[in-house]
């Protein structure tokens, strides 16, 4: 049990270190952090219904998840090559497209929740 707990704590530490690294180095994630603080602040001030908090939480998590995967893929691509290559451009563009999809979804959901 002690070994199991220490493994879980170590995994949690790695995950938080990854988020911390991304927050220090990725401008887009810093923007997402500001947007998250703003959305949660607005939610508190408007005393949102439970279902709206659920939607907001899921949306915020999706945006963070997509941006973290995008940043990780970009870093991996840059380790593979710094040369200009079609395959790298396509991979990075697809990852950026994933972020765009959830960003558009989050705008749509924010309009529904806060209007
Ligand atoms: N090695 C490469 N070969 C070809 N195209 C590249 C390469 N690196 C970057 N690109 C192109 O430049 C775009 C931006 O890539 P970059 O690594 O600069 O990400 P970024 O400025 O952090 O962008 P994002 O806002 O998507 O996070 C990519 O989506 C891709 O179209």
User: For residue 100, what is the domain's CATH number?
Assistant: 1.10.287.3610
Q: Ligand 1 pocket, 85 CB below 6 A?
A: yes
- Spell out the residues 6+ positions from residue 60 whose beta carbon is closer than 8 angstroms to its own: 36, 39, 40, 106
List of residues 6+ apart from 70 with CB closer than 8 A: 28, 95, 96, 98, 99
Mean pLDDT of 67-91: 97
Whole-model pTM over 0.90: yes
In a domain, 92, yes or no: yes
CB atoms within 10 A of CB 10: 10
pLDDT in tens, 8-67: 999 999 999 999 999 999 999 999 999 999 999 999 999 999 999 999 999 999 999 999
Atom of ligand 1 nearest to the CA of 82: 1
Domain membership flag for residue 54: yes
Is residue 16 within a helix (H) or strand (E), and if so which, with residue range?
helix 2-25
ipTM, two decimals = 0.92
Assess whether the C-beta atom of 88 lies below 6 angstroms from ligand 1: yes
Q: Can 85 be counted among the known catalytic residues?
A: no
Structural domains counted in the chain: 1
User: Looking at ligand 1, which atom is closest to the CA of residue 81?
Assistant: 1
Torsion of Cα atoms, 16 then 18 then 23 then 24, to 10° = 110
Domain that holds residue 70: 27-114
Q: Is 84 a pocket residue for ligand 1 (Cβ < 6 Å)?
A: yes
Domain contains 75: yes
5: exposed, middle or buried (C-beta count within 10 Å: 0-12, 13-18, 19+)? exposed
Ligand 1: which of 28, 74, 90 to mutate, most ligand atoms within 8 Å of CB?
A: 74
| 2 is a domain residue | no
């Amino acid at each position: 049990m002690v070994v199991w707990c220490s493994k879980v704590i170590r995994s949690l530490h790695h995950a938080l270190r990854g988020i911390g690294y991304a927050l220090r180095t990725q401008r887009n994630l810093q923007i997402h952090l500001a947007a998250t603080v703003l959305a949660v602040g607005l939610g508190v001030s408007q005393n949102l219904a439970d279902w709206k908090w659920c939607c907001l939480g899921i949306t915020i998590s999706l945006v963070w998840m997509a941006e973290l995967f995008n940043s990780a893929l970009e870093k991996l691509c840059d380790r593979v090559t710094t040369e200009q290559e079609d395959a790298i451009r396509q991979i990075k563009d697809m990852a950026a497209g994933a972020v765009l999809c959830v960003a558009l979804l989050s705008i749509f959901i924010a309009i529904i929740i806060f209007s």
